[in-house]
Amino acid sequence: MNPLNIVNELPDAFLDISYRDIKKVFDQPTLVHLKGVKSPALFVSILLHGNEFSGLEIMQALLKKYQTDKGYTLPRDLWLFVGNVDAAQLGLRAIEGQVDFNRAWPGTPDPQTETAKLIKKVFDTITKDALFAAVDLHNNTGQNPHYGCITDVTEENKYLCSFFNHIGMVFKSPKGVSTMAFDEICPAVTLECSTPGNKPAKEKAFALLDDLMHMDHFPTRSLAEHDLQLVKNSATVKINTDVSFCFEDDISSDSDTDLTVVKNFDHHNFSMLEKDEVFAYTKVDKPLIVLSPEGQDITHNIIQNRNGNLSLKTAMMPAMITMDKSIVLQDCLCYLLEDY
């Protein structure tokens, strides 16, 4: 693991660099501090997952807006963390065997890893003074709308979600994510900006960040219920150990795998998967493992296996379904949501 680089200026090349070329600007994870007209600072993290490049493009657009001949005239102080540059260079979420940069923040169950120590240094540095808000920019690989994720259901965090979209997710698992680390420190949100490069999502995230650069305070009145639908992450669905799997969509799929996920499964993101609706076929008894937010195995409560046809025992809403096999193995197949 390379050490953390902390700088007080950005090279001009950063404003137009591709995520695949980011190491030409920053050869290691880098924390940038730029002074603005007012404080406290806004914290933004990008490229915690190397192939989720919308965050880089959003911040490039934001900084270009305030670029001058003498640097930047930012409305507010800014901390910017450019995370997994090694994975970004390779176009990967994370390098095989590497600790996930968004599972290594304070609260992680593995604080002794080199990545967790690096992230702890980032966190300790930016929290020496007050923060106005913390925003973590991500993408999904499956077909998802853009939406905000929060771990602490405060009025400020609900506003952050509602500024981005009318739907937001509350989650308590996995541990060690950036947003969760800021509970009780400042308003914090993860912005899931749909698939990488999605233009409408980038525009909404840009507008939210630009607003945060100008705001003096968050609204004091409570958010109207109709302005935001909150759902909660009730379960995480993973492939069980040593189970081979494929997707019907993949023409190169091996029909001899233990588990086959139905075609267009990712179209179920943020729509109900009904009770008894078959979403996969299996040749083994327990191909999936479903974990509660507390990490308990609740598979038997959630999934039924009827002669190799897998379905849910009650209707639930999947989210973050990915059809990328490497990401399924690194993270999960999907989350299951219920109304908050």
Q: Where are the beta strands (DSSP E) in 63-150?
A: 67-68, 71-72, 74-82, 131-138, 147-150
> Under 8 Å CB-to-CB from 304, ≥6 apart: which residues?
276, 310, 311, 312, 313
Q: Can you give the pTM of this predicted structure?
A: 0.88
| CATH homologous superfamily, domain 5-227 | Zn peptidases (3.40.630.10)
CATH 3.40.630.10 range(s) for the chain read: 5-227
Q: 190 - beta bridge partners? A: 136, 149
- Measured CA to CA, the distance from residue 214 to residue 146 in angstroms comes to 23
The pLDDT tens digits along the chain (340 residues) read 558 999 999 999 999 999 999 999 999 999 999 999 999 999 999 999 999 999 999 999 999 999 998 889 999 999 999 999 999 999 999 999 999 999 999 999 999 999 999 999 999 999 999 999 999 999 988 778 899 999 999 999 999 999 999 999 999 989 999 999 999 999 999 999 999 999 999 999 999 999 999 999 999 999 998 899 999 999 999 999 999 999 997 766 556 899 999 999 998 988 999 999 999 999 999 999 999 999 999 999 999 999 999 999 999 999 999 888 988 998 999 999 998 8
The residue written with tokens 């603005």 in the block is 36
Pairing relationship of beta strands 188-192 and 317-319 according to DSSP bridges: unpaired
